[in-house]
Structure 1
Amino acid sequence: MRPSRRSGRALAAACTLILLLSGCARMLDGQAVSIFADPFRVGGLQAVDGPTGLRPDAPPPDREVRGTDGGRIDQLAAQSVSDLEAFWTTTYPNTFDGDFRPVNSLLSWDPGQLKGTFCKSRTFLLVNAAYCYLDNTIGWDRRLLLPALRNAYGDMAITMVLAHEYGHAIARTAGITKRRQTPTLVAEQQADCLAGVYLRWVAQGDSPRFTLSTGDGLNGVLAAMLALRDPLLNPEETVGHNEHGSAFERISAFQFGFTDGADSCRSIDAKEIEQRRGELPVQLQQNETGEVPVSEDSVRVVVEAMNIAFTPAKPPQLSFDTATASSCTDARPSPPASYCPATNTITVDLPGLQTMGTPSKDAKLATLSGDNTAYSVLVSRYMQAVQIEHGGLVLDNATAALRTACLTGVATTKLSQGVTTSNGGTIALTAGDLDEAVAGLLTNGLAAGDINGESVPAGFSRIDAYRTGVLGDFDRCLQRFP
Structure 2
Amino acid sequence: MGAVSAPIGRAATLVATLVVAVLVLASCSQVVSGSAQPTPAAASAPATRAIAAQADPPGRVADATTRALQDFWRAELPAAFGREWRDISTFIPVEVQDPAAPPPPCVNRTADVADQAFYCPAADVVAWDADGLIPALHERFGPVGVAVVLAHEVGHAVQNRLGVDAEQSRDPQRFPTILLESMADCYAGAALARFAEEPVAGLPVGLQERDRAMQALVGFRDPIGVAASDESAHGNAFDRVSAFQDGWNEGATLCAGMTIDNRPFTQRRFASEADLARAGNLPLRELLAFVERDAAEFFGGLAPGWDPPQLSTGGACPVPELAAQGPAAYCRDDGGVAVDVAALEGLHDEVGDFAAATVVAGRYGLAMLDAGGQSPVGRPAGAATTCLTGAYTGRLFDAADGFQLSPGDLDEAVQVLLAADWVARDAAGVSDPADHGFERIGRFRTGLLEGPGACG
The answer to whether the superposition gives a TM-score over 0.5 is yes
Question: Residue 94 of structure 2: which of 109, 112, 117 is its match?
Answer: 109
Question: Residue 173 of structure 1: which of 161, 173, 176 is its match?
Answer: 161
Q: Which residue of 2 aligns with 1:92?
A: 77
Q: How does 1:322-337 map to 2 (within 5 A)?
A: 322=314, 324-326=316-318, 333-337=324-328
Shift of 1:284: 1.9
Question: Residue 449 of structure 1: which of 425, 428, 441 is its match?
Answer: 425
Normalising by structure 2, report the TM-score: 0.81
Does the 8 A contact of 2:238 with 2:414 survive in 1? yes
Does the 8 A contact of 1:112 with 1:125 survive in 2? no
Q: Which residue identity lines up with residue 375 of structure 1 in the other structure?
A: A
Structure-1 separation of matches of 2:297 and 2:54: 61
Shift of 1:332: 7.2
Q: Which residue identity lines up with residue 377 of structure 1 in the other structure?
A: V
Q: How does 1:323-362 map to 2 (within 5 A)?
A: 324-326=316-318, 333-359=324-350
Does the 8 A contact of 2:292 with 2:311 survive in 1? no
Does the 8 A contact of 2:143 with 2:204 survive in 1? no
Deviations 1:265-319 (A, max 9, x none): 122121122xx23xx4522234221111212x43122110122334353333234
Question: Residue 260 in 1 paired to residue 238 in 2?
Answer: no
| Identical positions, percent | 27
Q: Which residue identity lines up with residue 427 of structure 1 in the other structure?
A: F
Evaluate the alpha carbon distance shift between residue 130 and residue 166 of structure 1 in structure 2; reply closer, same or farther with a 3 A threshold.
Answer: same
Shift of 1:162: 0.6
Q: Which residue of 1 aligns with 2:206?
A: 213
Q: Which residue of 2 aligns with 1:245?
A: 235
Deviations 1:191-246 (A, max 9, x none): 111111111111113435532111x2212111111111111125xx7833111111
Shift of 1:161: 0.7
Q: Which residue of 2 aligns with 1:293?
A: 283
Structure-2 separation of matches of 1:470 and 1:298: 20
Shift of 1:139: 0.3
Q: Which residue of 2 aligns with 1:314?
A: 306
Deviations 1:428-480 (A, max 9, x none): 111111110110011112122222232233111111111111111111111xx
Question: Residue 412 of structure 1: which of 393, 396, 414 is its match?
Answer: 393
Evaluate the alpha carbon distance shift between residue 67 and residue 111 of structure 1 in structure 2; reply closer, same or farther with a 3 A threshold.
Answer: farther
Greater alpha carbon shift after TM alignment, 160-169 vs 104-113: 104-113
Structure-2 separation of matches of 1:238 and 1:189: 11
Deviations 1:345-382 (A, max 9, x none): 001111111111112xxxxxxxxx21111110000001
Shift of 1:124: 1.6
Question: Residue 119 of structure 2: which of 111, 131, 134 is its match?
Answer: 131
Q: Which residue of 1 aligns with 2:439?
A: 461
Shift of 1:412: 0.3
SS where residue 161 of structure 1 aligns? helix
SS where residue 68 of structure 2 aligns? helix
More helix, by proportion? 2
Question: Residue 203 in 1 paired to residue 203 in 2?
Answer: no
Evaluate the alpha carbon distance shift between residue 281 and residue 102 of structure 1 in structure 2; reply closer, same or farther with a 3 A threshold.
Answer: closer
Q: Cα RMSD between the aligned structures?
A: 2.5
Does the 8 A contact of 1:68 with 1:109 survive in 2? no
Structure with more contact order per residue of length (Cα contacts < 8 Å, sep ≥ 6)? 1
SS where residue 403 of structure 2 aligns? strand
Evaluate the alpha carbon distance shift between residue 205 and residue 233 of structure 1 in structure 2; reply closer, same or farther with a 3 A threshold.
Answer: same
Question: Residue 78 in 1 paired to residue 63 in 2?
Answer: yes
Structure-2 separation of matches of 1:387 and 1:301: 21
Evaluate the alpha carbon distance shift between residue 187 and residue 373 of structure 1 in structure 2; reply closer, same or farther with a 3 A threshold.
Answer: same
Q: Which blocks of at least 5 consecutive residues in structure 1 are unaligned?
A: 1-18, 23-62, 360-368, 421-425
Structure-2 separation of matches of 1:326 and 1:264: 49
SS where residue 139 of structure 1 aligns? strand
Q: Which residue of 1 aligns with 2:221?
A: 229
Evaluate the alpha carbon distance shift between residue 68 and residue 263 of structure 1 in structure 2; reply closer, same or farther with a 3 A threshold.
Answer: closer
Evaluate the alpha carbon distance shift between residue 327 and residue 244 of structure 1 in structure 2; reply closer, same or farther with a 3 A threshold.
Answer: closer
Does the 8 A contact of 2:354 with 2:412 survive in 1? yes
Structure-1 separation of matches of 2:326 and 2:54: 49
Does the 8 A contact of 1:281 with 1:430 survive in 2? no
Evaluate the alpha carbon distance shift between residue 434 and residue 444 of structure 1 in structure 2; reply closer, same or farther with a 3 A threshold.
Answer: same
Deviations 1:398-431 (A, max 9, x none): 22212111100000011123376xxxxx211111
Does the 8 A contact of 1:384 with 1:451 survive in 2? yes
SS where residue 347 of structure 1 aligns? strand
Normalising by structure 1, report the TM-score: 0.77
Q: Which blocks of at least 5 consecutive residues in structure 2 are unaligned?
A: 1-18, 23-47
Evaluate the alpha carbon distance shift between residue 318 and residue 335 of structure 1 in structure 2; reply closer, same or farther with a 3 A threshold.
Answer: farther
Q: Which residue of 2 aligns with 1:429?
A: 405
